[in-house]
Structure 1
Amino acid sequence: MTVLIAFLANVLVAIAKTVAAVMTSSASMVAEAAHSWADAGNEVFLLIADRRGSRKKDARHPLGYGRSAFVWSLIAAFGIFTAGSIVSIMHGIQELAANEPVESPVVAYVVLAIAFVLEGASFVQALVRSRRLARERGSSTWDFVIDTSDTTLRAVFFEDAAALVGLVIAGGSIALHQITGVAAWDAIGSILVGVLLGIVAIILIGRNMAFLVGTNVSAQLRARVGRALLESPDIERVTYLHIEYVGPNRLFLVAEVDLAGDAREHDAARRLREVERRIEAHDIVETVVLSLSVDDEASLAF
C-alpha cells in the first residue's frame, strides 16, 4: 500500500510539473519533472520487487525469492541516479548561461505547492509506518529506516523526503531568479536537485548491495532470536547462531543447540524437527536448520 500511494502521487505530480515546465521554461521545474517521472517509474520497479519477493520457496529456491526484492530495488535506485540525478545536473549546467526570465511563475508556485501536499501525504504515510515499526523494535526512526530489510519502505521514505526538499529548492530558485533577475539561480536549483537525488540514490544502492552480498543482523535482533530459542522448553542452551536476511523481513537461521534431557539419537532428531517447524511458523522466518551442540562448546549469552 505504501508503494501504491507513492506511485499514484508521483504520477499526478509528474504530469503537473511537466505542464508547468513547458509553461514557465524553468530549469528547476524541468529538473523537478524529471525527478517525479523517475520516481514514478521507480515505484513500478518497487511494486515488482514486492510481488517477486513475496513468492513462496520451492525446490529451485529453497530459501525463497526474497532476495529478488533487493535486486529490483537496486534497479530502481539506479533509475533515480540516471533518470533523475544525471538529467537534472546536465540540464542545469546547460542552462547556466541562459538569461531568459521565468514565464508565468505563479503557475510554477501553484504546481509546487500542490506537489508538496501530495508528496507530503505520501511521506507522512511512510513516516508513520516507520515510526511505529521503530518503536516496536526499540530503535530510532532514522536507524530503523537505514537498517531495515524492508527495502521498498526505505525507498519510498527517502524518495518522498528528497521530493519535499527538492520542491523547496525549486521554489527558492525560481524566487531568487525573480528577485535578482539572474537566470543562473534557476539553473543552480536544477543542479542542486540533481545532487540531492544522487545522494539518495547512492544511499539506496549501498543498502541494497549490502543485503544482496550479506549483512549482519542487528545485535538487538540477534539477541531476540537467541532468547526466543532458549525460551523453548526443548532447548537448554545455544552454542552457535547464524542469522541472515533472505528477503525483506525474511530470515534464514542456523543454530547449534543442546536439547534438554538425554534422549536417544532418534528421539533427539525428531525433537529437533519439531522445534524447527515451530520456529518456521513465525512470520519472519523463512528456513531454520538446527543441529546438536558438542558438550565442550561454550554457551552463547543473549
Structure 2
Amino acid sequence: MTVVIAFVANILVALAKSVVAALTGSASMLAEAAHSWADAGNEIFLLIADRRAEKKRDPVHPLGYGRDAYIFSLFAAFGIFTVGAVVSVYHGIQSLAAPEAVEDYTLNYIVLAVAFVLEGFSLMQSVRQGRRDAARYGRGFFDYVVNGSNTTLRSVFFEDTAALLGLVIAGAGIGLHQVTGDPVWDALGSIAIGLLLGGVALLLISRNRRYLLGAAPTAAYRAQLGRMLLAHPEIQRVTALYLEFSGPGTLFLVAAVDLVGDGPEDGVARQLRRLEGDLERDDLIGRAVLTLAVSDEPSLEFGAGSGASSGSSL
C-alpha cells in the first residue's frame, strides 16, 4: 500500500511540475519534474519487487524468489541516478550556459506547495510502516529503514525524503532568482537537486548490493535464534549456526545440532525433518536445514550480544 500511495502521488506531482516547467521555463522546476517522473517509474519496479518476492520456492529456486526484491529495487535506484540525477545536473549546467528568466513565479510556488503536501503524505505512510516494523523487531526506526532487509520501504522512504528536500531546494532557487533577478540561482538549484538524487541513488544501490551478495542478521537476532534452538526440548546443543537473508524479512537457516537421546539413523533423520518444519513455521525463517553435530565440536554460546560482530537488521 505504501508503494501504491507513493506511485499515485508521484504521477500527480510529475504532471503538475511538467506543465509548470513548460509554462515558466524554470530550470529547478524542470529538474523536479524529471525527479518525479523518475520516482513514478521507480515505484513500478518496487511494485514488481514486492510481487516477485512473495512467490513460493520451487525446485528451480529452492530458497524462493525473495532476492528478486533487491534486483528490482536496484533497477529503481539506477533509475533515480540516470533519469533523476544525471538529467537534473545536465539541465542545470545547460541553464548556466544559457540562463532563461522565469516567467511566472507564483505558479511555481503553488505547484511546489501542492507537491510538498502530496509528498509529505506519502512520506508519512512510509514512516508509519517503518515505525511499526521497527518496533516488531526491536530496532530503532532510522537504523531499521537504512540497514533493514525491507528494500521497498527503504526506497520509498528515501525517495520521498529526497523529494521533499528537492522541493525546498527548488523553491530556494526560484526564490533567489526572483529576489536577485539572476537566473543562475535557478540553474544551481537544478544541479543541487541532481546531486541530492545521486547521493540517494548511491545509498540505495549499496544497500541492495549488500543483500544480493548475502547479508546476515544482527548479532542480537542470531543469539535470539540460537537460544530458541537450545530451548527446544529435543535439541541438546548447537555447534554451528549459519543465517543469511534470502529476501526481505526472510532468513535461510543452517544449523548443526546434537539431539537428545541416541535413536536409530532413520528415526533421527525424520526427527531432523520435523524440527526443520517446526522452524519454518516462523514467518522469518523461509528455509531451515539441520544436520547432526560432530561429538568433539565445541558448543556455541548464545548470550546477549554474542555472535557475529556486524550484520543487517531484519
Q: What is the TM-score of this pair, normalised by structure 1? A: 0.97
> Offset of 1:216 from its aligned partner?
2.4
Deviation at 1:22, TM superposition (A): 1.0
SS at 2:130 equivalent: helix
| Residues 1:255 and 2:255 are matched in the alignment | yes
Question: In structure 1, what is the Cα distance between the partners aligned to 2:283 and 2:87?
Answer: 42
Deviates more, 1:267-276 or 1:82-91: 267-276
> What pairs with 1:1-302 in structure 2 (closer than 5 Å)?
1-302=1-302
- Cα distance in structure 2, aligned partners of 1:222 and 1:20: 52
Mapped contact 1:27–1:187 kept (Cα < 8 A): yes
Q: Which moved more, 1:135-144 or 1:60-69?
A: 135-144
Q: CA deviation at 1:99?
A: 4.0
Residue-by-residue CA offset, 1:43-82 (whole Å, 9 max, x unaligned): 0011111111111111111111111111111111100000
1:188-210, CA deviations, whole angstroms, 9 ceiling, x for partnerless residues? Answer: 00000000000000001111111
Q: Distance in 2 between matches of 1:230 and 1:14?
A: 54
- Looking at structure 1, the residues matched to 29 and 99 of structure 2 have their Cα atoms a distance apart, in angstroms, of 16
CA contact (8 A) 1:98 1:183 kept: no
Alignment-mate amino acid for residue 200 of structure 2: V
Once the two structures are superposed, residues 141-165 of structure 1 have per-residue CA deviations (whole angstroms, 9 ceiling, x without a partner) of: 1211122111111100110010010
Paired with 1:172 and 1:163, the residues of 2 have a C-alpha distance of 14
Look up the equivalent residue of 2:194 and give its one-letter code: G
Q: How far did 1:261 drift? A: 2.4
CA contact (8 A) 2:21 2:29 kept: yes
Runs of 4+ in 1 over 6 A off after TM superposition: none
Residue pair 2:99, 2:187 contacting (<8 A) in 1 also: no
- Number of equivalences: 302
Query: Would you say the 8 A contact 1:97–1:184 is kept in 2?
Result: no
The CA deviation at 1:135 is: 2.2
Amino acid of the structure 2 residue aligned with 1:26: S
Q: Deviations over 1:122-153 (max 9, x none)?
A: 10110111122222222221211122111111
**Structure 2 residue identity aligned to 1:63:** L
Classify the secondary structure of the residue corresponding to 1:160.
Answer: helix
Q: 1: distance between equivalents of 2:132 and 2:55?
A: 26
Contact 2:24 2:102 in 1 (8 A): yes
Q: What is the TM-score when the length of structure 2 is the normalising length?
A: 0.94
Aligned-residue Cα RMSD (Å) equals 1.1
Q: Distance in 2 between matches of 1:241 and 1:198?
A: 38
Amino acid at match of 1:22: A
- Aligned mates of 2:249, 2:99 — CA distance in 1: 52
